[in-house]
Amino acid sequence: MKICCLCIVFFVLNIACSDCLVSASFAESQRKNIIISDELLTSAEVLQVKLNLKKSKWGVRFGDYYALEIEMDASEPRESSNFIESKVETSVKNEVSFMLVSDLDSARVTGLTNIVTKENRAVRILKDCWGVDFYLGNNEIRRHSHFLSSSINTNIIGNEYWLLTMELVYGSSVEDISKAYLSNGTRKIEIVPVISTKTGDRPKMYPALGYEFIENGKSLCAVQYHSGGMLGLFKKRVWLRSDLPSDIKFILASAMTSMILLQVPDSEEVQQFEY
């Protein structure tokens, strides 16, 4: 009888522990996505981004939006330095052009990113001197700038023009700048970085990364350009508020597609600022 009771207790505890593990596993899986506002979570349609590379042409699709006629030009990283390589400058530039289409609308989008880093590097003056290397100077980033700009020309409302701008600057010799927005000159939509870890959580090696679009305190959409994990760069998704007018949905889709194709500021850069 005692053995039977013990078996029952063990069985019940095993089920309870299994439920806990499933709940924890589910919670962890939910955290693989960027943390966006509750308002957007409840009112947005979640769209998986499909990427296709055929004949050296990128194809991007989510929902009813397709990026066609994509042309991409990525320059090789360039590096220059002084004679002793104590001052080094590296730069890289990417450009993209595409046509975004839906069932009713179309827009021509052109964009570019320009990333420049100026840094000081310590110079080794003695090697293996009694088992020690001696250096002159310190490693220091004097100025790092990451600039992204995309122009969106659409026929939705009489050739309306929108501009996506993202600028990140930091370093020991400059004043920090962090700004990102989408504007047509009248409306201005702020773009803020979001991540899959909460404040106070243990940092993850490969968190999910993205941006949320907010206008006058109202969240409109979000794009997740990295879904976490080692292969997260190939798994992207967007959240697009369902109750928005079709014209602004199309503009937001154009901007998010541009961010998917271009190199946005990554987590290491964004960590220079607080979320």
Full-model pTM: 0.80
The pLDDT of residue 200 = 62
Instruction: Reply yes or no on whether the pLDDT at 31 is more than 60.
Output: no
Which residue pairs, CB below 8 angstroms and at least 24 apart, start in 190-193?
190/214, 190/215, 191/164, 191/166, 192/275, 193/265, 193/270, 193/275
Say yes or no to pLDDT of 50 above 50: yes
151-187 residue pLDDT tens: 999 876 667 899 999 999 999 999 999 999 999 999 9
